[in-house]
Amino acid sequence: MVIRSGFLLRCVQRHKPPKHRHLQRSAKIGNRQDAFKSAASAVPPRGQNDSESREFRAIRDAAQEADWKRLGVLLGAHDEILGSIVARWPDLSIEQMNPHERKRAQEQFRTTTQICVATEAAGEGINLQFCHLMINYDMPWNPTRLEQRLGRIHRIGQTRECYAFNFVATESEDGEQIVEGRILHRLLEKLEQMKVALDNRVFDVIGEVLSLNDVNLPEMLRDAAVDPGRLDDYLDQIDNIDPNKLKEYEEATGIALARSHVDFSGFQRQNLEVEERRLMPRYVEAHFIEAAKRIGLRVEPRADGLWRIEHVLADLRSDRLNSAKKLGKAEQAYRKVAFHKEVLERDEHIDAVLLGPGHALYAALDERLNEQLASVAGSQAVFLDPLAASPYRLHFYEIAIKGQDSHGHDVPLHGEVVAVRDDAGVLQMVPADCLLDLASHPQPPANIEPVAHDHAAAFVKSDYQLERRNRCHQDRKHFASIVREYLTKSFEARIRRAQNRYMELMGELGTRPEYKLAADEAKKYIDDLERTRKERLAGLQRLEIARTGPIRHLATALVLSPTGDVERQMGRLGREHDVDLRIRKERTAEDIVIARLIADGFPKDQIERVGHLKVGFDIRAHRISDPATGQIEVRRIEVKGYSRGNNIQMTTNEWYKAQQLAATYWLAVVWDPLETANELVLIQNPAERLDHAKREITVAKMFEIPAQAIIPSR
């Protein structure tokens, strides 16, 4: 490909390393400010004959292919370049921002504007995964900067293909070559050629590749500007870059070793658990709406199903709030508020604000609510368990495990809210979110006798917290051993390489006295490496520390069984009243489902019973569906073992979990599980397929589904 005036590199990324291809340019760029003005103005219309219009028509076509109608970010390295761009738009201005102002500008970019223009300051520290088009108007000389820039949009949470346009001019308007552009052009072409050898990592490792090949790009560009006559030497140096040196270095320094320690099967399982335990938007929304009522914040429903807040109370925008110091102040109003992230993906709701933990308003409201409820901390409330044969208590505690970093600073290792079920003195650890399946008692006792909970606290400390501490300790020891092994090999390789460099310089010193300064610097570098190695290895011992933190009592729930009017309100639930028989049915039904999963090809060791964890389903099964990519198929199955013809009940938590996990959630109904002629019915995505048939039983916090609606998925 012959490129006269410059080139445009396109990076395509879809949750994998970028692909690259060049877009030919047939016309010259006048100056880069004029060029970008054309691009940012949605490109001159077809039919104009000026070269600049033809030039950026190619960009427009590529941008349309990228579907960039929503958002684009332009990065320039220097204020003066940014000023030249902004000067062409009278509505824009340049101003320095503190962290809170940057966050506010980021939110404005997401909701109301199409283009963000920024200096290198936006190259790190902000998350722009809602944006998928980036224009590097001014290419950085430091390759690490380019990595950081691309990381703003190509990161966890990105759901679309990412496009990056890197502007490089190799020839000025009057035909003179631009040395900087020629070198960058050759480098990016070389990266395109090396991507297979680099396992498609390219921009993730560009800095390391250049360093290992003794290519100092900033220094090369500076020297070329002073002595352009050596341009061919610099281009040859770029051409001679060997990508295999990266693999050799990774093997020598233990990076490959560190990767070998990664338990990918365990990692996949942890990912599944994280997805399952993610805070459900329904609970976030319900909490916010109820908290707003208590605090006096008016939140109104909109016709489109979202919410609006016309006026945020001054008390929630106070500088004295701890949340304001961490997250900034809330806005005065929010015209469109959503709690479900999926809503923001629709074009009509791109201007909606997502509320949840981490948002300034949500945090301010939560802080005020905690202040208001401080007096009731540690007290009791009464709930109803429709399946309980006798009353019991639930004691809730907050526990912590603490450790140290390599510098000796205290760091939290684990924090959790736990619950202890107390059946007349018989204690049992239960998931804290079991409270979600219990309804507030419609007629609670007028007076509740206070109850001692020290025995439950001691049970948590001696049993669960200690077990958690031991697990954290083992995890930290394992982590420290891997890091120690990696650091030992890494420093050995780096010191050996530095020593070889030092010996080469000392060998030349006899005939080249001017090498003395370089030799002294090389010796100093060796000393620094050895000192750093000693400090880093010594700090690893601190990483193994794990100790129990305080236990704080949060509250106690008195849980009563249904009686009288409550039973009549609940209606006929159709479940076995004989507890032992019900347990036998459920266990047998699970066995039947597991046998079906094995018959369907799921490995036996990848099928788990998780009902006791109260995660909203009973069985988790997964398997590799695509060995080439490592993609997995997962099924989360809620099992119901019922007598034929009875209506099916799902708890509120199970139903909400089905909505959250959608197609990976299955309902398995086993009719007459204890009979020889039992029948298994599997329904994928029941929240969608059975939504029309469900009936909510509010007092029991359950959803009932008629037996005739239980039809197997096709």
Residues 274-285 have pLDDT tens digits of 778 778 888 999
448 lies in the same domain as 490 = yes
What is the rounded CA–CA span in Å between residue 591 and residue 597? 10
Pick the residue with more confidence: 43 or 246?
246
Q: What is the pLDDT of residue 613?
A: 81
Q: What is the pLDDT of residue 4?
A: 25
What is the rounded CA–CA span in Å between residue 254 and residue 481? 13
108-117, 291-300, 342-351, 444-453: which range is least confident on average? 108-117
How many CB atoms within 10 Å of residue 202?
23
Do the beta carbons of residue 439 and residue 698 sit within 8 Å?
yes
Decide if 263 is inside a domain: no
Q: Answer yes or no: is pLDDT of 607 > 90.
A: yes
What is the rounded CA–CA span in Å between residue 65 and residue 91? 28
Q: For residue range 570-579, what is the model confidence (pLDDT) as tens digits? A: 444 445 566 6
Q: Answer yes or no: is pLDDT of 262 > 60.
A: no
Sequence-distant (6+) residues with CB within 8 A of 187 are 217, 238
Most confident stretch, 66-70, 134-138, 221-225, 555-559: 555-559
Do the beta carbons of residue 403 and residue 469 sit within 8 Å?
no
293 lies in the same domain as 237 = no
Boundary (domain end) residue, out of 223, 257, 291: 257
Boundary (domain end) residue, out of 517, 541, 562: 562
Q: What is the pLDDT of residue 346?
A: 83
Show contacts of 628-635: CB within 8 Å, 24+ apart.
630/264, 630/268, 632/268, 634/272, 634/664, 635/597, 635/602, 635/664, 635/666
Q: What is the pLDDT of residue 275?
A: 79
285 lies in the same domain as 142 = no
Instruction: Over range 702-714, report the average pLDDT.
Output: 83
Enclosing domain of residue 553 = 397-433+440-562
* DSSP H or E run through 658: helix 652-661
Most confident stretch, 11-15, 114-118, 169-173, 432-436: 432-436
Decide if 191 is inside a domain: no
Q: For residue range 369-388, what is the model confidence (pLDDT) as tens digits? A: 999 999 888 899 999 887 78
Sequence-distant (6+) residues with CB within 8 A of 640 are 586, 589, 648, 649, 650, 667, 668, 669, 670
146-150, 243-247, 615-619, 645-649: which range is least confident on average? 243-247
Decide if 181 is inside a domain: no
Decide if 275 is inside a domain: no
580 lies in the same domain as 697 = yes
553 lies in the same domain as 619 = no
What is the rounded CA–CA span in Å between residue 306 and residue 483? 48
17-21, 290-294, 678-682, 694-698: which range is least confident on average? 17-21
Decide if 392 is inside a domain: no
Residue 209 pLDDT grade (very low, low, confident, very high; cuts 50, 70, 90) = confident
Which amino acid makes up residue 648? I
Q: What is the pLDDT of residue 548?
A: 93
* DSSP H or E run through 398: strand 392-404
Q: What is the pLDDT of residue 227?
A: 79
154 lies in the same domain as 235 = no
Q: For residue range 2-16, what is the model confidence (pLDDT) as tens digits? A: 222 233 332 333 233
Structural domain total, the chain: 5
Decide if 268 is inside a domain: no
Q: Answer yes or no: is pLDDT of 706 > 80.
A: yes
Tokens of 116: 């963000």
Tokens of 569: 């309100």
Q: What is the pLDDT of residue 512?
A: 81
Sequence-distant (6+) residues with CB within 8 A of 370 are none
Q: What is the pLDDT of residue 34?
A: 36
N- to C-terminal Cα separation, the chain: 53
Q: What is the pLDDT of residue 48?
A: 41
77-86, 661-670, 678-687: which range is least confident on average? 77-86
Do the beta carbons of residue 458 and residue 422 sit within 8 Å?
no
Boundary (domain end) residue, out of 562, 595, 611: 562
pTM for the whole structure? 0.67
547 lies in the same domain as 651 = no
Instruction: Over range 47-55, report the average pLDDT.
Output: 42
211 lies in the same domain as 156 = no
489 lies in the same domain as 587 = no
554 lies in the same domain as 582 = no
Q: What is the pLDDT of residue 398?
A: 96
